[in-house]
Amino acid sequence: MRLTLKIWRQKNWNTPGKFVSYPANNVNPEMSMLECLDVLNEQLIERGEDPVAFEHDCREGICGSCGFMINGVAHGPLPATTVCQLTMRHFKEGQELVLEPWRAKAFPAIKDLVVDRRAFDRIIAAGGYVSVSTGNAPDGNAIPVSKEDADRAMDAAACIGCGACVAACPNASAALFTGAKITHLGILPQGKPEQDIRALRMVSQMNTEAFGGCTNIGECTAVCPKEIPLEVIAGMNRDYLRASWRERDKLVTTIRPFTEWSTGSKLKIDEHASS
Amino acid sequence: MELDARIPAGPIEKLWDRARFDMKLVNPANKRKHRIIIVGSGLAGGSAAATLGELGYNVDCFCFQDSPRRAHSIAAQGGINAAKNYQNDGDSIYRLFYDTVKGGDFRAREANVYRLAQISVEIIDQCVAQGVPFAREYGGTLANRSFGGAQVSRTFYARGQTGQQLLLGAYQALERQVQAGTVTMYPRTEMLDLIVIDGRARGIVTRNLVTGEIDTRIADAVILGTGGYGNVYYLSTNAKGSNVTACWRAHKRGALFANPCYTQIHPTCIPVSGDYQSKLTLMSESLRNDGRIWVPVKKGDTRPPDQIPESERDYYLERKYPSFGNLVPRDVASRNAKAVCDEGRGVGVTGLGVYLDFSDAIRRVGENTIRERYGNLFDMYERITDDNPYKAPMRIYPAIHYTMGGLWVDYHLMSTIPGLFVIGEANFSDHGANRLGASALMQGLSDGYFVVPYTVGNYIASNKFELVSDSHPEVRNAVACVQQTIKKLISINGKRTVDSFHRQLGKIVWDYCGMSRNAEGLERAIQEIRELRDEYWTNVRVLGMGEELNQSLEKAGRVADFFELAELMCIDALERNESCGGHFREEFQTPDGEALRDDANYSYVAAWEYRGYGNPPTLHKEPLTFEYVHPSQRSYK
């Protein structure tokens, strides 16, 4: 196959980027999108040009590292598929593919197709867990969980944290990501004791980051490689609303967003009332 | 050097209790004064970071990915073993211990394996409490399945994404500690050297992958949970970033590397399709529970599978191993696949593939049940190959998947450098020469949640730690080494890309030190690896600078270490004149082609000491004794 790859090139976060077109001849239809970029990078290096930086690791659709827009669609045209498993046979001979990074204020650019998604880690750190220290657990079968609940929790827990939902959303909202974790843990009996405070903290953190609000457009779930259902957002809103009332006197902490790379995750915590 | 595994005396069931009781404790108020470095954030590193943070230590955790949640543990599909005996089918801690020692072909340490089996039950409890959505029965209890090589159902699973869910459990526990201020997470930061002062591990040198900044971190103990080295083969089921660099640089600072030739080939992967191929995709071996493996009886039979009648199919595993059938351990299944392909009976365009056929299972239990069990795997297969496995059999072929070898550790999971602990796949300790399915997740979490938090505490309580400043000569020396290597790699400016070298290296190691090995091939491989390495250091091309995100530079450093490791693997494989587990030496096999161990001469752990660039490594032996599980010829017939 012959294709044209029009790729967003950006040296770093404070240098403006631009699109550069590269012809891709001899594309094997069995290749993945990332293997197509591998081949391009080999050629660029041989020509002495800077290879395209893109995020990737497991290349089997589960680590959530990879992802970029292909012709305006997060992870490209194939439903439920990350770019690492998207084979080139899904494109047409001669097609131009426009590759650009996730664009969202909460995901600052790093280089080319690579962005900083640490805002997601901070949302999880705010409350996306069950507070059970090692050694504290009762027998695994002590608390029965119905198969339906386990399955629904698993549907939400399947999120890989790739950020496609944010990139696809016209508001750059992280509601699907945040809702997935709130729903996963909220369904299970193990997550019930912290259901209120979790929703308050995670939603507060989400709002502190530069994500936009959710207006129920549904682009997020349409591009989600794990098909996380839109209902997790409804679940999040319900939990948050209820918690805002029940826990109205509670102070909620949020982590101040940061973009520097030299300090690890040293956090600055702000406290404010939940209202 | 005398290798002391520090195994306490006494009956095996009591050893871990005994060891824990003998350990010194750190005063709770003092724990925050001790900094512990953890490199890697997978099941082992992530769970250790979370647990040590919960205990109150001052933890710094490093990973090269953009988030700790990306660690390659996430890709484990099938499940995690635990001797719960919830299915009432005769399982017990002793049976899991027995199966693991036998499955490892009697090349693992009994005491470690027994502890692993004991802890397995606690892991499940912990993960359930964290909210890991394990599969459940209708009554609400945990579901189990049997898994390659086991005759009891002891495997817990979360669809085909067990590793993901367990890792997210550990990641969430880790993030909870980040929020609590006990753990500082350093993503996109790679360890490039170990700082050893007065014979003890006291810190690491890191490179910030975004800014290129070289930094040092001083601590009282260093824990490596950096995974395996399967990417030495270039094509493997490992994530592209998985590498041996942290372990290898620790090895060069004095940590012995044990059993590097023990590598595991996973029998059920999607076959290679072309030269551009960047990685191999695993299909969970849970598929072997319902799929039947076969090839045509005739050589070169190119008919489509549905036109080959039953009588002209060879279900070779069922034929040769009637009691285990398609569920024989991984090494046996892989070798047999290679054997039938070598005979010219392989399927697919390349002839390197065998069928994994679900038509009988679909007839028996219906397509819906099969979809429920393996739906995501079938979808993945179809996405990659464009074939529908509900209609036509899958084509599979073995691929490198896991490495049993790793840095040598004692019962406390401490390496030969005091203060350097190694956990999970990065160490050599629990799987012998072959790992059983669903045991990697078990070991990673066992080491991280339940072993190293005790043993590191004991080490800290037993030692005094002087302050080390950044200007200490050993610190400066380590930093200088790292800077020099980076400078060198960038300055070569040769003609070939890093990947082209890596691919060529991988092919050498796969051809001569892969599924089967022989002395002649290994000697040739050592020669070829040396030549290629020499070329690498004069002809590799790494563009750009060190002070920026530079993915070629990251790879270049890792591939440089793979060269040295590859040579050691071949040396180890050559030295071990027997076949055991994943190490199959063609010269040593039974008349019917099974692995032939030599317990009289090779019942030991081969731990190699680095002697400087270009010098042959020194072999140290840790003898293995078997008091409980008597070594026997493994038979799955």
DSSP per-residue codes, B474-497: HHHHHHHHHHHHHHHHHHH--SB-
Over residues B359-397, the pLDDT tens digits come to 999 999 999 999 988 888 898 899 889 999 999 999 999
Contact B379 A89 (CB under 8 A): no
Cα angle B231, B235, B237 (rounded to 5 degrees) comes to 75
Q: Which residue has the tokens 């191999």?
A: B280
Prediction ipTM score: 0.97
Integer Cα distance of A129 and A125 in angstroms: 8
Report the candidate in B439, B435, B429 with the shortest Cα–Cα distance to residue B409.
B429
Among B66, B71, B453, the residue with its CB nearest the CB of A55 is: B66
Mutate to test the interface with B, among A60, A192, A258 (most CBs of B within 10 A): A60
Residue whose tokens read 């996306």? A128
What distance in Å separates the CA atoms of residue B297 and residue B313, rounded to the nearest whole number?
5
Q: What average pLDDT does the segment B568-583 reach?
A: 97
The pLDDT value recorded for residue A275 is 43
* Beta strand pairing call for B257-258 and B406-407: antiparallel
Q: Are B540 and B496 in contact (CB under 8 A)?
A: yes
Whether residue A188 has pLDDT greater than 90: yes
How long is chain A? 275
* Average pLDDT score over residue span B524-535: 98
User: Strands A18-24, B257-258: parallel, antiparallel or unpaired by DSSP?
Assistant: unpaired
Asked if pLDDT for residue A274 goes beyond 60, the answer is no
According to the model, what pLDDT value does residue B49 have? Answer: 98
Would you say residue A264 has pLDDT above 90?
A: no
Max distance between CA atoms of chain A, in angstroms, equals: 64
pLDDT, tens only, A137-178? 999 999 999 999 999 999 999 999 999 999 999 999 999 999
pLDDT band at B334 (very low <50, low <70, confident <90, very high): very high
Average pLDDT over residues B178-187: 96
Do the Cβ atoms of A13 and A103 come closer than 8 Å? Answer: no
DSSP class of B500:
H
pLDDT at B149 over 70: no
Name the pTM for this structure.
Answer: 0.97
Out of A81, A134, A157, closest to residue B168 by CB: A157
Q: Is the pLDDT reported for residue A272 higher than 80?
A: no
Using CB atoms within 10 A of its CB, is residue A155 exposed (0-12), middle (13-18) or buried (19+)?
buried
Q: In 3-state terms, chain A is what percent helix, strand and coil (to 5)?
A: 35, 15, 50
Residues B290-313 pLDDT 10s: 999 999 999 999 999 999 999 999
pLDDT at residue B433 in the model: 96
Angle between helices A118-127 and B162-180 (to 10 degrees): 80
| Residue carrying structure tokens 């028996």 | B364
Q: What is the mean pLDDT of residues B327-331?
A: 86
CA B1 to chain centre: 27
Amino acid at A33: M
Q: How confident is the model at residue A273 (pLDDT cuts 50, 70, 90)?
A: low
Q: Is B273 a residue whose pLDDT tops 90?
A: no
Q: What are the DSSP calls for B405-454, one per residue?
A: -EE---TTSB-SSTTEEE-GGGB--SSTTSPPTT-HHHHHHIIIIIIHHH
Residues B462-510 pLDDT 10s? 999 999 999 999 999 999 999 999 999 999 999 999 999 999 999 999 9
Burial of A258 by CB count in 10 Å (0-12 exposed, 13-18 middle, 19+ buried)? middle
pLDDT band (50, 70, 90) for residue A80: very high
Tens of pLDDT, residue by residue over B50-95, are: 999 999 999 999 999 999 999 999 999 889 999 999 999 999 999 9
Interface of A with B in 40-69 (CB under 8 A): 41-42, 45-46, 48-51, 53, 55-65
Region at B339 (left for phi over 0; alpha for psi -120 to 50; beta for the rest): alpha
- pLDDT value at position B150? 80
Confidence of residue B275 (pLDDT cuts 50, 70, 90): confident
Residue B50 contacts A, CB cutoff 8 Å: yes
Asked if A129 contacts A98 with a C-beta cutoff of 8 angstroms, the reply is no
Q: Which of A154, A161, A151 is nearest to A62 (CA)?
A: A161
CB contact under 8 A, B158 and A132: no
Would you tell me how many other CB atoms lie within 10 Å of the CB of residue B368? 10
Q: Which of A53, A63, A147 sits opposite B239 (nearest CB)?
A: A63
